[in-house]
Chains A and B, each alone.
Chain A
C-alpha cells in the first residue's frame, strides 16, 4: 500500500503554501477594486465641474441678453443674485466682475476645495 512519506508531504505543503499566497494576492486585488470604485466616484462628486460650466453659461447668457441694456443696475443686480445665492445655497464664493466696472468678464469661484478664476473677452463685445 502506498503511504505518505516525509518527502511527499513536504511537496504537498509547499504547493498549499504557494496556492494560499496566490489566494491572498487575489483577495488584495478584489479589496483594491472596491476602494477604486469609491475614491473615483467621490472625487467626481466632489469636483464642481458642472457648477463651473453652469456659471460660465449663465455669465454668457447675462452678457448676451443684458450687456446692451441701458440700465446697468440690472447686470449689477444679477451679479449680486449669484453672489448671495451661491454663499447661502452652494457654499461657494462667486464673484463676477464685468461691464460697467470692467470691459472684460472676470469670474472668481471658490468653494473651499476648488478655486477657479477666469477672464473672458467675448468676441461680440
Chain B
C-alpha cells in the first residue's frame, strides 16, 4: 500500500540528486575561464591590428644602390602613397582596408571584417603643425582607436607649405561598423 512513510527521504533524495547534477554541471563548465567581454579588450585588439597593418605597409619590399653606390631602401607602399601627396589617398585607403579587413574563414575562405578608417597626415611648418585629410569615412563611431606611423617622404608633396624631404605623421582612426 502506498502511504506517506519515507516521503521526506524521497524528497531529500531528489534534492540531493539535483544538487549533485548541478554541481557537476558547474564544475564541468568552470574549467574554461572565459573573460567577460570588456571594451578595452576589443580596443586593444583593434589598435594592435591597425599598428600591424601600418607596419606591413611601411616595410620596404626591397633595397637598391643609388648613383653614389649607397644602399637605399626602395619606397614602401606607405611612402609611395604619401610621396604622391593627396593623390595617393585613394590607393592608401583601399590598401589599408584590404589588409585590415581580410579574415580567414575555413568555410567561406575569405570573409570581410567591418573595419572603416579615416586617415590624416600631420606635417611640420616651421614650429607649428598642419594637417591634411588623407582619405576615409568621416562618420566614425564609438570605440574608435587611433594608430600612427612616421612616414619618410622624399617629395614632401603632402605638405603644401614645404616641398622637401621630410618626416610626416600619419594618423589613422579606425573602428568597426
Chain A residues within 8 Å of B, Cβ to Cβ? 1-4, 19, 26, 29, 33-34, 36-38, 40-42, 44-45, 50-51, 53-55, 57-58, 61-62, 64-66, 68, 74, 77-78, 80-82, 84-86, 88-90, 124
Contacts and interface: CB of A to CB of B under 8 A. Distances in A.
A83 to B, nearest CB: 9
A34 B38 contact: yes
B103 interface: no
B6 A2 contact: yes
Contact of B165 (A53, A66, A90): A66
Main SS at interface, chain A = helix
A88 B30 CA distance: 48
A21 B51 CA distance: 46
B167 A62 contact: yes
Contacts of B164: 74, 77
A45 B4 contact: no
Nearest to A36: B35
Contacts of B166: 77-78, 81
Interface size class of chain B, counting residues whose CB lies under 8 Å from the partner chain: 35 or more
A42 B4 contact: no
B168 interface: yes
B152 interface: yes
Contact of A78 (B47, B51, B70, B152): B152
Contacts of A37: 35-36, 38, 40-41
B148 A41 contact: no
Nearest to B165: A74
Given A44-B44, A50-B51, A85-B124, A78 B165 contact: yes
B2 interface: no
A14 to B, nearest CB: 14
Contacts of A82: 150, 167
- Chain A CB within 10 Å — which of B8, B40, B47 has the most? B40
B150 A54 contact: yes
